[in-house]
Amino acid sequence: MTDTNSNSTANVKGATVEAMFNEIAPRYDLLNHILSLNIDRIWRKKLIKKLKAENPSHVLDIATGTADLSIMLGKRSKDIRITGIDVAEQMLAVGRRKVYNKGLSDRIQLKRAAAEDIPYPDATFDCAMVAFGVRNFSRPDLGLREIRRVLKPGGKLFVLEFSTPSKFPMKGLYRFYFHSVLPFVGRMVSGHKQAYTYLPESVERFPEGADFVKMMRDAGFEGCSAKKLSFGIATLYGGRHY
């Protein structure tokens, strides 16, 4: 009974999140670069560097969106195959155009699928990565378990997610930027009323640091770690499927 209820809540959240990302897809990249002041590129590079050190041949990019992370990895490693999945078809459509324009279509494939129900057999991928996606999953616990299932034993998951700085003066600056500047600019550029108030709200609701590490451990990952980036505006997590 409880499970049925939480699943239906998850489905409602899932449908709303999917619709929201489909609506903002054409402007997502532009807004990402304006609103993050391009700092997200530095964080993405850190993730890619750590992932490349694992020497994977096949990587899963969950909640790939417009495929920025897949493309960054594809450009930096000529012999890695990447599969990107996402629930929002319009985000994937933008991603497919970018992948094609960069000449990466032979190595990067994008498919519509949810993290909670990944359409690949057990032990398919050497590594997995999620950037700014896990907080949007309808059921992060199920999503993490599914990711673990499709990883080969020894395979590593990297998660990049927003977090909230806890120290002065970054804490105050962050709150002002995330709650005032970002929703205003986001609304003006995307024309979407909720998307950029959803962002700070979803970040504050989502478990971070030790709480998210616990969630990874509960999903079966081992050797989990969390490294704060840029005074804690983002955190890079890692965990292995042994």
Ligand X SMILES: C[S@@+](CC[C@H](N)C(=O)[O-])C[C@H]1O[C@@H](n2cnc3c(N)ncnc32)[C@H](O)[C@@H]1O
Binding site for ligand X (CB under 6 A): 14, 17-18, 21, 62-65, 68-69, 85-88, 91, 114-116, 131-133, 136-138, 143
The answer to whether residues 186 and 199 touch, using CB atoms and an 8 Å cutoff, is yes
Residue 22 CB, shortest distance to ligand X, in Å, is: 8
Neighbours of 221 (CB within 10 A): 24
Task: Using CB atoms within 10 Å of the CB of residue 193, give its burial: 0 to 12 exposed, 13 to 18 middle, 19+ buried.
Answer: exposed
Residue 192 CB, shortest distance to ligand X, in Å, is: 13
Nearest to residue 92, comparing CAs of 118, 121, 116, 71?
Answer: 71
> Residue 109 or 153: which CB sits closer to ligand X?
109
88: phi then psi, degrees, rounded to nearest 5? -95, 110
> Residue 147 or 224: which CB sits closer to ligand X?
147
> Residue 54 or 141: which CB sits closer to ligand X?
141
> Residue 15 or 210: which CB sits closer to ligand X?
15
> Residue 86 or 126: which CB sits closer to ligand X?
86
Residue 47 CB, shortest distance to ligand X, in Å, is: 10
Contacts of 35-39 spanning 24+ positions with Cβ under 8 A: 35/182, 35/185, 35/186, 35/196, 39/230, 39/233
Report the residue number whose CB is nearest to ligand X: 65
Residue 196 CB, shortest distance to ligand X, in Å, is: 11
Instruction: Give the Å distances, CA to CA, from 70 to 38, 142, 220, 233.
Output: 17, 23, 25, 22
Residue 14 CB, shortest distance to ligand X, in Å, is: 6
> Residue 181 or 210: which CB sits closer to ligand X?
181
Name the pairing type of β-strands 234-240 and 151-162: antiparallel
Residue 160 CB, shortest distance to ligand X, in Å, is: 7
How many secondary structure helices (H) and strands (E) does the chain include?
Answer: 9, 7
CA–CA–CA angle 172, 190, 36 (5° rounding):
40
